[in-house]
Amino acid sequence: MNPVEFSHVLISRVAADQWHALEDDLVIGRGAMSHRPDGLMFVSIDAWHDAAFARLAEVMLAALPRPLHTVVDEADLDLTAQWQRAGFTTRRREWEYAVPTDPHATGLGPPPPDVTVLGLGRAEEAPLRDLDRTIRAEIEAGPGWQDMPAEVIAVPGLDPSKYIVATRSGRYAGLLRVAMMTRRPRIGLIAVRADHRRGGIARALLAHALGALHRVGKDAASAEITESNVAATALFEGIGARRTGSNLELVIR
């Protein structure tokens, strides 16, 4: 693809979703674009200095349709300022939490009598997929995916071994996804069908997940919650979760 030169920095689109900033044939910055399963387009830039960042941003923004989104650590003031200079504004804030696993700290107890929790890998794939589709449809009909975490796994990627499921009277009613790839396990998603909410299912899912982590020696898990999600914030802070940081989702339209 044709490179674009800015003074001493050459910007080259090396693939449909990747750009390089070059100075004297040395790569001094990289830009990338990716699509979320819900259709939102996210961009990222990693550059050695501000000039390379600005030039990568200029070329990428000229080449890509809008709106474009990016996610930054709110504590990284320099990176946030670079995106703002490129024209991005804050769309939402996502709080990062450390969640204790010890039942004595969380205060979480056994599930309600009519609720059964199925551990990782115990859910049947077909009803789990039906539950996932139902919850996604409810989200799309309500707040929409735009206020969901930036990491959203598509339906074809559903893996029962990563889900804890709650059933009520034999029906799949709620799910919790756990990611174990990082040093600290992460609660990636917790969701309950609309007709089963306010019945203790979310707490039952958390009690099972956190209790299992505690038994294998994990003292905390991580979670991210959108600032506007009052119910989720109350749920996690009510079991002793503490804020450890925040991310900003920025957008340019």
What number of CA atoms fall less than 13 Å from residue 187's CA on the CB side? 29
Residue 215: closest CA among 60, 102, 133: 102
Q: Name the β-bridge partners of 167.
A: 116, 172
- Spatial separation of the C-alpha atoms in residues 131 and 145, rounded to whole Å: 17
- Most confident by average pLDDT, 155-164, 165-174, 183-192: 165-174
- What is the pLDDT of the chain when averaged over all its residues? 90
Q: Return the higher-pLDDT residue of 134 and 155.
A: 134
pLDDT at site 9: 86
> What confidence tens digit (pLDDT) does each residue in 207-229 have?
999 999 999 999 999 999 999 88
Residue 105: closest CA among 186, 214, 225: 214
pLDDT at site 180: 80
pLDDT at site 151: 53
Read off the pTM.
0.84
Residue 98's pLDDT band, with cuts at 50, 70 and 90, is very high
CB proximity list for 93: less than 8 A, separation 6 or greater: 74, 226, 227, 246, 247, 248, 249
Residue range 156-171: mean pLDDT, rounded: 88
- Domain covering 96-248, topology: Aminopeptidase (3.40.630)
Residue range 160-183: mean pLDDT, rounded: 90
Evaluate if residue 157 carries a pLDDT over 90.
no
- For the chain, domain boundaries: 4-92, 96-248
> What confidence tens digit (pLDDT) does each residue in 47-96 have?
999 999 999 999 999 999 999 999 999 999 999 999 999 999 999 999 99
Residue 12's pLDDT band, with cuts at 50, 70 and 90, is very high
Q: Can you state the angle between helices 77-85 and 50-63, rounded to 10 degrees?
A: 40
Evaluate if residue 6 carries a pLDDT over 70.
no
pLDDT at site 218: 94
Residue range 113-119: mean pLDDT, rounded: 96
- Spatial separation of the C-alpha atoms in residues 27 and 129, rounded to whole Å: 44
- Spatial separation of the C-alpha atoms in residues 248 and 107, rounded to whole Å: 31
* Domain 4-92, CATH among 3.30.70.2740, 3.40.710.10, 3.40.630.30, 3.40.190.10: 3.40.630.30
Evaluate if residue 1 carries a pLDDT over 70.
no
